[in-house]
Amino acid sequence: MSERIKVRPGDKEELQQAEMELCLHRIFKRTLTFILSVLIFTFLTMYHLGPSLKIFQIMMWYKRQKRGVKVKYVEHEGYRFCYFSRGQPGLQPSILMLHGFSFNKDVWLNAIKLFPKGLHLVCLDMPGHGETTRLLGESYTAATQAQRIHQFVKCIDMDRKPFHLVGTSTGGMVAGLYAILYPSDVCCLSLLCPAGLRYPKASDLVKYLKKQKRSMQSHNFLKHGVYHSSRTNLQHLKGYLAASRPDKAFYINYFLDLSSAKSKYSLHDNMSKIRAPTQIIWGKDDKVLDPSGADILANAVVNSQVHMLEKCGHFIVLDRPRKSAKLLLQFYHSVCGNVDSKIWT
């Protein structure tokens, strides 16, 4: 006869508990697998659909939430300025950042995540860009844009104390003119590969456009602005263009105004009048504006310092966000005093 195995009540409870733990482990494993699958699918979707305006807007909204910035609007005589800010004006000078042609304020998001959160920071949509009013009949010469930005500065009471003004590309051109026209507003100035100078030779971009006979609306020129023209970088660049509400007539008008006799070399012709301590940052591999512009500025601006970045193209804050943020903070620290933050490497 076969022996019958008796199961004690205690053993039965242990067996049930073990089965329950095994069941919970399976449920946890399946849930984790599902979550990871969703994340991977989301990442791949965003990667491949990066140029899509809707996807790009969602990405930028998420970045703004992570950076703790708030989009705001202010009007002056029916003209609306759009900007985002973080922190409150305090004892230390504020920072005003100006983007370049065809971009918008979001271009600074990768860099400002490294700035101390207590520092008052303002990133503005330049005249006609982003959600700032676009007027086809308006002049967009550098000096006129500087006047518009001065209106904005007064609207948000930023002119109560001198601030650190930062500008890149055409935004750097306008920033330089602003520092000349309104010297009492600017305690220090940072110019990242600014336009508006007389370069000894034509840029690779100009040569390329002439050779290919591309129109201004072509996206092909974007790859000349970054050192690594990867798919991700190009998607972001296309996204910035899409988010700026593309308008061929506006961009042509804007470009013609900036390249007019009144504006084209306005920074070059007036740069010796800059009195604020000035930081010049340029990418050594800039194919849009010749890197020799750094020496041209440094020789004309009395109190200036130059930083040439390795493996960096024209879009400095996209190519080297950490390095550019570190340089901006170090310069701010040297001119405006201690900043309660860690300097990143």
Mean pLDDT value across residues 59-86: 91
Is 14 among the domain residues?
no
- What are the tens digits of pLDDT across the range 137-163? 899 999 999 999 999 999 999 989 999
Q: Give pLDDT, residue 169.
A: 94
- How far apart, in whole angstroms, are the C-alpha atoms of residue 46 and residue 33? 20
**Is 286 among the catalytic positions?**
yes
Residues 177-200 have a mean pLDDT of 94
Average pLDDT, the chain: 84
Q: Is 57 a domain residue?
A: no
324 given a catalytic annotation? no
> Which of 106, 185, 257, 286 does the annotation list as catalytic?
286
The pLDDT-based confidence of 124 (bands split at 50, 70, 90) is very high
The residue from 164, 314, 319, 324 that is catalytic is: 314
| Residue 310 falls inside a structural domain | yes
Residue of 194, 216, 192, 196 lying closest to 206 (CA atoms): 216
For residue 272, name the pLDDT band (cuts at 50, 70, 90): very high
Percent of the chain with pLDDT over 70: 79
Look up residue 131 and give its two tokens.
């959600």
Element containing residue 177 per DSSP (H, E): helix 170-181
> pLDDT, tens digit, for every residue of 29-45?
888 888 988 888 766 66
Span of 98-102, 118-122, 239-243, 253-257 with lowest mean pLDDT: 239-243
How high is the pLDDT of residue 78? 92
Q: Is there a catalytic annotation at residue 269?
A: no
Judged against a pLDDT cut of 70, whether residue 80 lies above it is answered with yes
95-104, 131-140, 234-243: range with lowest mean pLDDT: 234-243
User: Which residue is it, tokens 């040569």?
Assistant: 207
Number of domains present in the structure of the chain: 1
Model confidence pLDDT, tens digit, residues 104-114: 999 999 899 88
Per-residue pLDDT at 229: 66
Torsion-angle region of 221 (φ positive above 0: left; ψ -120 to 50: alpha; else: beta): alpha
Model confidence at 90, pLDDT cuts 50, 70, 90, reads confident
Over residues 334-339, the mean pLDDT reads 77
* DSSP secondary structure letters along 258-281: HTSTTTTTHHHHHGGG--S-EEEE
Residue 13 lies in a domain: no
CATH number of domain containing 250: 3.40.50.1820
Domain of residue 192 covers 69-336
pLDDT tens digits, residue range 212-265?
444 444 455 566 777 776 656 666 666 676 666 667 788 889 988 998 998 999
48 occurs within a structural domain: no
Residue 115: closest CA among 344, 345, 305: 344
Instruction: State the pLDDT at residue 227.
Output: 77
Handedness of CA 168, 248, 260, 149 (dihedral sign): negative
- Whether 95 maps to a domain, the answer reads yes
What CA–CA distance (Å, rounded) separates 239 from 246? 11
Is 324 within a domain?
A: yes
3-state SS class at 125: coil
CB 196 within 8 A of CB 171: no
**Residue 108 contacts residue 97 (beta carbons within 8 Å):** yes
pLDDT for residue 345 is more than 70: no
Across residues 88-99, what is the average pLDDT?
A: 92
> In this structure, is residue 280 part of a structural domain?
yes
Q: Which residue has better confidence, 342 or 315?
A: 315
Q: Is 155 helix (H, G, I), strand (E, B) or coil?
A: helix
- CA separation for the pair 217, 229 (Å, rounded): 18
